[in-house]
Amino acid sequence: MVKQERAARTRELLVQAAAEAFAREGFIPASLTTISRRAGVSNGALHFHFESKSTLARAVEEEAAEVIRQIGRSDAGRPGALQRLVDATYYLMGRLDQDVVVRAGFQLSNCAALRERSVDLRGQWQHWIEQVLQEAEREGELAAGVPAADAATVVAAAMAGFEMLGAKDRDWTSRGRLLPFWELMLPRLAAPGVLEQVKPAGTRLGAHPSRRQPPT
């Protein structure tokens, strides 16, 4: 393994170990020594990559933000804005459920008061929800009398709630919570003729992704 690869792998091990410590113990109690030990690297190596616990927290948030960017990219050109929205919620909840880096990233960004700067993960996700619902409106997918902005309010609030409640009890980020949400909401959101085509359980594209592979 060349030097650059090894450095990237060490960095990734540290981000993973930090996310585990933040999710389990909380940002304040988590110690850098525990994190470096869990990552199997020296304290010196940790400080080579990250100058402080806040820098590590930011790296965790940045990796979580990549999930939101992935959702945005995967959409390009695919028809069916409502189905894409449903699928994306299953995808994000699946990642929150299964990937400690994503989960810790959102938790850190909930407690933004802890640190001076944090990544606005939730703002990025809300922006995407608004955009896709505006697209649904333009394409005539939304029911009459349902403004895209109102639909976005409800979906964004519920997703923020699932995600936050999931930090304490992972049942909230499971399919068993998301399915009743969409079963209740879709008949109100979708125009006649569109409703029959949108699957509240999501399509294959929105299936829960497999567990994140730890770096090898």
Site for a copy of itself in 150-169 (CB under 8 A): 150-151, 153-154, 156-162, 164-165, 168
Q: In Å, how far are 51, 182, 193, 205 from 77, measured between CA atoms? A: 41, 23, 21, 14
Site for a copy of itself in 5-34 (CB under 8 A): 25-29
Q: In Å, how far are 17, 25, 49, 110 from 35, measured between CA atoms? A: 5, 11, 13, 21
Taking the C-alpha atoms of residue 190 and residue 181, their distance in angstroms, rounded to an integer, is 14
CB of 139 to a copy of itself, least distance (A): 19
52 touches a copy of itself by CB under 8 A: no
Site for a copy of itself in 166-205 (CB under 8 A): 168, 172, 177, 180-181, 183-185, 187-189
**32 or 158, CB closer to a copy of itself?**
158
Amino acid at 125: W
Please name every residue paired with 190 in a beta bridge, in sequence order, or none if there are none. Answer: 142
Sign of CA dihedral 23, 24, 28, 30: negative
**10 or 89, CB closer to a copy of itself?**
89
Is residue 125 within 8 A of residue 159, CB to CB? The reply is yes
Taking the C-alpha atoms of residue 29 and residue 22, their distance in angstroms, rounded to an integer, is 8
**26 or 215, CB closer to a copy of itself?**
26
**96 or 189, CB closer to a copy of itself?**
189
- From residue 112 to residue 151, what is the string marking binding to a copy of itself with x (rule CB under 8 A)? xxx-------x-----------------------xx-xxx
**40 or 147, CB closer to a copy of itself?**
147
**CA 110-113-118 angle, 5° bins:** 65
- Contact residues for a copy of itself, defined by CB under 8 A: 25-29, 107, 110-114, 122, 146-147, 149-151, 153-154, 156-162, 164-165, 168, 172, 177, 180-181, 183-185, 187-189
